[in-house]
Amino acid sequence: MVVWVPQDYLNDILLNINEFTAIKKYLSNIGASYASHISTNVGDDCAVYQSSCHQLISTDVAVEGVHFPKNLPAEFIARRAVASALSDIAAMGGSLEGFTLGLSISKTDHQWLAGLRKGLQYIARKYQVPLIGGDVVKGPTQLSVTAIGSSKKSPILRSGAKQNDIVCISGKLGGSFLGYKAYLENNCHSAASKRYLSPEARIQYGKCCSDYVNSMIDISDGIFQDLSHLTNSSRVGARIDFKAIPFLSNDYAKEIIKFGDDYELLFTVSPKKIHQLEMHLANHRMKLFRIGVIDGKKTIIDNLPSKITTKGWDHFA
Amino acid sequence: MVVWVPQDYLNDILLNINEFTAIKKYLSNIGASYASHISTNVGDDCAVYQSSCHQLISTDVAVEGVHFPKNLPAEFIARRAVASALSDIAAMGGSLEGFTLGLSISKTDHQWLAGLRKGLQYIARKYQVPLIGGDVVKGPTQLSVTAIGSSKKSPILRSGAKQNDIVCISGKLGGSFLGYKAYLENNCHSAASKRYLSPEARIQYGKCCSDYVNSMIDISDGIFQDLSHLTNSSRVGARIDFKAIPFLSNDYAKEIIKFGDDYELLFTVSPKKIHQLEMHLANHRMKLFRIGVIDGKKTIIDNLPSKITTKGWDHFA
């Protein structure tokens, strides 16, 4: 009999023995002070929590060498992976309840795990959200984060855009690409690299929008890719003025669009409600950028530079 | 500037274009007929559902070459990975609400994805549970499954075992190890390999137990490993009669204990309630196996064969 067990499986069992130590040491009590609604936490078969609202659940996977470079410190791997998952709750206008972490690591490296814990604690404090469970296994480095949120009102879907809605975004694009570029140049956490190493999930912004907007999505795959998801779901087109899209650097507009990863929110709002929304955002020291209108069935980008193509995005004219 | 973007990141973007096709073709409408409580499904930022019960959330990761062999057909990779996550809901005595899938794959192989879909559909039908969302990324093959459940009553925790409780398990151990052995010998799905290729999450059994038992856990890491989690959480010890543990093959008891992966339930029940539980289980054509009692602070295994050691498990005498 060929025995695959004693090789891979027993290694896994050895790691399993460590798994429980690793969970206790590095993954327990992350955001415990924000876990009053969670009755059982890391360490049982499931996390348990109670809520009478709409429940929101989203899973995001981050792979070493694909979503983050191999040498990225674990603290920033954690910050990036979790923020990316929390951003999906923001895109529904929801509040955060907790998150779980499926962690695959090739070996038990305590320094690495301590960095990961630091990143998770940063997230827990920043968003006041607890880590409520997960799994640690042996394998190529990957983080799978499931974000759990809630919404007292109906959540904002991608599919709600209406003709004549104004298309807006929550902030300037390019922080992640330019931050990544700065990180490659300086290899450290700085003001310039911050938005790549520690992207922000716009939870507060999404909640502010939830009473006003008709549709919303987060810009994780690049503005045109995500716009196409929104317009396709809503069965509408849009007329976008490229010049109205706020880039942190127009020189890198093409790269910024391809890179995505900015986690700003893209949303549509009725012309009747946009002033109210702008005032509501201003009260929270936030603003919006108008980039076009929902119009017809096909999407047209005016003033598109010749070096940028919309080929590859569905339903673009 | 070293540009890491055009290599890995653009590949990811290319896969992202496929990601949406892959999600639509292979991951949409899995268990849709069981999704009446889910208001938004695969295809928005989050899944949305409403529930006023205790919410149960658990994440499990399955890695190629660790949790399943490289050549295992995708249908069984899916069956194994999802059943393992659902088993955690069973271990709390909960009902299933849905699951999400974080899928990392190295390339878009349509035949493989079609097999995966078949496995997911099998799970959806068997447990009447919908796939409600997830993520598809490029990377080493891994499945991260987050199971979502609910419980009207307080869920059964690992930490509830009381002195004099009777320690029981839900079925014979070894189906997975012996099934794996049969699979290696015949390389196909057969009656002998079924319990490895398609393990059962004992949802119905767990629900039957929920009114009677004081503590519960699923046997995923091996009976003694999981027993130690239960006794440690409950701050008790147990006196177990090894001869009372039902193995499908006593010749392979050692291997079966190390292999784990059986997903039977291990639970403790007051002597006053055990007859009621046995009758309740019998009404559902199920039974329990008594293997010992909760006793003192240390765990003692009587009649332990000399070739089996309890070294490595916390708090074993």
Chain A residues 98-117 with a CB less than 8 Å from chain B: 98, 100-104
Are A67 and A122 contained in the same domain?
yes
Neighbours of B110 (CB within 10 A): 11
Give bridge partners of residue B149 from the DSSP assignment: B56, B96
Report strand pairing: B289-294 vs B213-218: unpaired
* Domain limits for position A279: 158-302
Are B242 and B290 contained in the same domain?
yes
pLDDT at B189 over 70: yes
CA A239 to each of CA A222, A271, A306, B158: distance values in angstroms, whole numbers, following the listed order: 17, 15, 17, 57
Say how far apart CA B248 and CA B172 lie, in whole Å.
6
Note whether residue B310 is domain-resident.
no
Say how far apart CA B201 and CA B93 lie, in whole Å.
11
Tokens of B184: 């290696």
Backbone angles phi, psi at B227, to 5 degrees: -60, -40
Residue-wise pLDDT for B18-43, tens only, equals: 566 666 677 777 777 777 766 655 56
Structurally, chain A folds into a number of domains equal to: 2
Say how far apart CA B123 and CA B116 lie, in whole Å.
11
Are A147 and A174 contained in the same domain?
no
CATH no. for residue A195? Answer: 3.90.650.10
ipTM entry = 0.83
Among chain A residues, the shortest Cα distance to B257 is held by A13
Identify the weakest region by mean pLDDT among A71-75, B184-188, B280-284.
Answer: B184-188
Chain centroid to CA A127 = 13
Looking at chain B, the number of H-run helices and the number of E-run strands are: 9, 12
B272 or A50: which leads in pLDDT: B272
pLDDT at B280 over 90: yes
**What is the pLDDT, as a whole number, of residue A136?**
86
CB A81 within 8 A of CB A145: yes
Note whether residue B212 is domain-resident.
yes
- Domain boundary (A151, A179, A195) is at A151
Which of A183, A194, A64 lies closest to A126, judged by CA?
A: A194
A214 or B133: which leads in pLDDT: A214
pLDDT at B266 over 70: yes
CATH no. for residue A93? Answer: 3.30.1330.10
Are A287 and A215 contained in the same domain?
yes
- Residue B244, amino acid: A
Are A131 and A27 contained in the same domain?
yes
Among chain B residues, the shortest Cα distance to A59 is held by B134
Per-residue pLDDT, averaged over B199-207, amounts to: 97
- Domain boundary (A151, A178, A212) is at A151
Contacting residues of B for A60, CB less than 8 Å apart: 102, 135
Among chain B residues, the shortest Cα distance to A61 is held by B102
Task: Quickly list DSSP for A95-126.
Answer: EEEEEEEEEEESS--HHHHHHHHHHHHHHHHH
**What is the pLDDT, as a whole number, of residue A246?**
98
CB contact under 8 A, A59 and B100: yes
Say how far apart CA A147 and CA A81 lie, in whole Å.
11
Are B224 and B115 contained in the same domain?
no
Chain A residues 196-255 with a CB less than 8 Å from chain B: 216-218, 221-222, 225, 229, 233, 255
pLDDT at B47 over 80: no
Note whether residue B17 is domain-resident.
yes
Are A15 and A75 contained in the same domain?
yes
Are B123 and B246 contained in the same domain?
no
Give the angle subtended at the CA of B287 by the CAs of B285 and B292, to the nearest 5°: 175
Contacting residues of A for B48, CB less than 8 Å apart: 54-57, 92, 151, 155
Are B146 and B173 contained in the same domain?
no
Among A139, A229, A312, beta carbon nearest to B140: A139
Residue-wise pLDDT for B153-169, tens only, equals: 888 999 999 999 999 99
Ranges of residues in chain A whose predicted pLDDT is under 50? 1-17
Q: How confident is the model at residue B4 (pLDDT cuts 50, 70, 90)?
A: very low
Are B199 and B126 contained in the same domain?
no
